[in-house]
A and B are shown apart, each in its own frame.
Chain A
């Protein structure tokens, strides 16, 4: 029976709704030994910035109950090297390529990055990472992330950045939201009003873990972003809240490990999902979910994945 897994994210047509989460897939090349990259719905790159970033001091990661804390600090080669060294491989894969970008300063950086990417035909969409909790790298652990507000923690700043980027690109625009807010729907609506084609949620949840004997944080920066199955219920809840308030598609993520966790996100209102931390544990997770979704739909006589989106009975 013909099962339809195709979904649309703005003008972006995906063969299936399974993509990867920024920062968990590198620039795809490392995964070519594990999976057939052509089967993915879309590839999202590690976030890039205008200038290269060295990232935060180590230790940068630690395992927590069913979760992972990270404070990488957006280590990336910068857009020039990205275009020179990473794009040649990415452009040949033949699935929609979504480039994630962030700014170290103001919205001008987002605009310049978007302008550059707008000229590259193989870039299908731009994802605005306005929600990375680890970007204040030059501060000491005690002061990190205090008195520092993410763009996606403020509806007005969110609106301004999205609007500014919308003005310079016709490519599909995705805005990635932070869960570290009181009301995520406010931010999602601001992004929608400013013209984003989709919202992606959630980025990592701020957390901390302490090495008791030493009395020190396990991550050099002190606080870090939590990902993995531990955050899934928060993510599913936020997708559902946002789904009720916006008309644009939602890309859901946060602790997706397998088909059944992916299905939670569709039912809550995601049009597509992204696999993050699970790529580290089982590099074939994405591919297994794609075939798992097909099987699930067939077994339940559902012809089109779209029937599931937001189908929560409540």
Chain B
């Protein structure tokens, strides 16, 4: 994973909007120019959702997008000054966050963690990444898709925008996004991905839309239909899903980067609370097991590095 040198900041940040998208899903926009300036896809922020001691700890949320200051007159004037987070109200902390109003201030630390390693090679027919989102794992992948598109179109300007249809019916140069959700009502960001030029496939646990089953099963199905090796897998979602994706990707030798969750006390690498077990090379070149901090060395880990419990 890349060593990102950006300084982690702690700041009082103004809520610009906090919108209920549907059901228990919310999108909050927070003014945080320092964070927006340096954030990378896969990084997260740690938010104190209320003043006082209940709940006591901060809540980690992935950076969903970096938003631009309206009105954007020219490219130079589009100052990145706020961050967008997508979250589900699942408990005390996220519940309170969902009630915070525009104009209020939140204490935000970030950008934290390593972020995804961005593959800068241009998209070609036999070279396309697959993004896999399980549930709330969608949140960081939109930012990732934006970034991938940005760097990939930069590298291959001639191809940008050209939509070649290949013999197998697939479009050239498209990222494939697999979204897994509990039901059709839980599908997030389908339009966002499409607007970014991604091909989107959906699975639901109950079959109310798309493939019926887990998104890892959908992945297996897609891979067996592929006539080429995908360049990379990027995934975020529940642990069991990531474990399965890790198994599939290792089996097929596809480099996979997985963004993990873990209960965090500090989120800044000092408490040693958020660890997962990984393989590591020691000084003698032998592999050893060790614990690695999700908040610091992660949340993104290379799949074949993780030792699943």
B57 close to A30 (CB less than 8 A)? no
Closest to B276 in A: A58
Partner of B9, one of A33, A63, A279: A33
Closest to B59 in A: A63
Q: A25-B270, A55-B291, A61-B273 are in contact. Are A283 and B10 (CB under 8 A)?
A: yes
Taking CB atoms, residues of chain B closer than 8 Å to A24 are 266, 270-271
B309 CB-CB contact with A under 8 Å: yes
Taking CB atoms, residues of chain B closer than 8 Å to A30 are 268-270
B269 close to A66 (CB less than 8 A)? no
Closest to B93 in A: A63
Q: A54-B291, A280-B267 are in contact. Are A60 and B275 (CB under 8 A)?
A: yes
A148 CB-CB contact with B under 8 Å: no
A257 CB-CB contact with B under 8 Å: yes
B263 close to A62 (CB less than 8 A)? yes
Binary contact readout A255-287 vs B (1 if CB under 8 angstroms, 0 otherwise)? 001000000000000000000010111111000
B290 close to A23 (CB less than 8 A)? no
A54 close to B290 (CB less than 8 A)? yes
Binary contact readout B112-136 vs A (1 if CB under 8 angstroms, 0 otherwise)? 0000000000000000000000000
Binary contact readout A68-105 vs B (1 if CB under 8 angstroms, 0 otherwise)? 10101001000000000000000000000000000000
B262 CB-CB contact with A under 8 Å: yes
Closest to B309 in A: A57
B107 CB-CB contact with A under 8 Å: yes
Q: What secondary structure prevails in chain A residues at the interface with B? A: loop
- Which B residues, 47 to 65, have Cβ-Cβ distances below 8 Å to chain A? 48, 53-58
A63 close to B272 (CB less than 8 A)? no
Complex formed: what's the CA distance from A57 to B308 in Å? 12
Taking CB atoms, residues of chain B closer than 8 Å to A63 are 55-57, 263, 265
Binary contact readout B1-23 vs A (1 if CB under 8 angstroms, 0 otherwise)? 00000011110000000000000
A59 CB-CB contact with B under 8 Å: yes
B54 close to A279 (CB less than 8 A)? no
Partner of A281, one of B9, B56, B277: B56
Closest to B267 in A: A280
Taking CB atoms, residues of chain A closer than 8 Å to B109 are 283
Q: How many residues in A have their beta carbons less than 8 Å from beta carbons of B? A: 35
A67 CB-CB contact with B under 8 Å: yes
B83 CB-CB contact with A under 8 Å: no
B266 close to A279 (CB less than 8 A)? yes
B274 CB-CB contact with A under 8 Å: yes
Partner of A55, one of B58, B268, B275: B275
Partner of B53, one of A26, A61, A70, A257: A257
Complex formed: what's the CA distance from A261 to B190 in Å? 49
Partner of B272, one of A67, A75, A284: A75
A179 CB-CB contact with B under 8 Å: no
Binary contact readout A1-38 vs B (1 if CB under 8 angstroms, 0 otherwise)? 00000000000000000000001111000110110000
Taking CB atoms, residues of chain B closer than 8 Å to A284 are 10
Taking CB atoms, residues of chain A closer than 8 Å to B7 are 33
B54 close to A66 (CB less than 8 A)? yes
With A30-B268, A67-B56 already in contact, 16 other A-B pairs whose C-beta atoms are closer than 8 Å: A24-B270, A31-B270, A54-B290, A58-B273, A61-B263, A61-B265, A61-B274, A72-B272, A229-B53, A280-B57, A280-B265, A280-B266, A282-B10, A282-B48, A282-B107, A284-B10
**Can you spell out 22 A-B residue pairs with CB atoms less than 8 angstroms apart?**
A30-B268, A31-B270, A33-B8, A33-B9, A55-B272, A55-B275, A57-B277, A61-B271, A61-B273, A63-B56, A66-B54, A228-B56, A229-B56, A279-B270, A280-B57, A280-B266, A281-B48, A281-B58, A282-B48, A282-B107, A283-B109, A283-B268
Q: Which residues of A contact B (CB under 8 A)?
A: 23-26, 30-31, 33-34, 46, 54-55, 57-63, 65-68, 70, 72, 75, 228-229, 257, 277, 279-284
